[in-house]
Amino acid sequence: MADDQPMWGNNRAVAPTPGAAIITVDLEENFTIKGYHLSMIKDRQFDRRSRADPHKHVVEFIEVCGMFRYGDTNADDIKLKLFPSSLAGEAKIWFNELSPVMITTWEEMRQAF
């Protein structure tokens, strides 16, 4: 491949910024994910190769998210915010290629996945 050629063919649409498919979730200003919670998510990333069952991934992701609470913050908003971090490899590419602002709820994300 020549250096001036795009990595992907012209038939692939890429969101202008990673994660643009999810409409911004309005969480409290002081909301932060604790490091060990994020590690639990990233340790179980779905890449569509070594971890190839998307249904199992969603179940495991929901189980991990169910292990912690962040005050009165809606659990589905937390899942929606964290889900992109649970993806790697081809699955992350798929997510980044979704149309911008396509996903507004956890249920929409689950169905799209």
Q: How confident is the model at residue 14 (pLDDT cuts 50, 70, 90)?
A: very low
Range name among 23-37, 56-70, 97-111 with the lowest pLDDT average: 23-37
Measured distance CA(44)–CA(64) in Å, rounded: 9
Measured distance CA(25)–CA(22) in Å, rounded: 8
Residue 11 has pLDDT above 50, yes or no: no
- In DSSP terms, 87 is beta-bridged to 46
* Residue 24 or 76, more confident: 76
Query: Chain-wide mean pLDDT for the chain?
Result: 78
Minimal CA–CA distance to 78: which of 105, 113, 52, 60?
105
pTM of the predicted model over 0.85 = no
- Pull the structure tokens for residue 25: 């979730």
**Do 104 and 23 contact (CB within 8 A), yes or no?**
yes
Residue 51 has pLDDT above 70, yes or no: yes
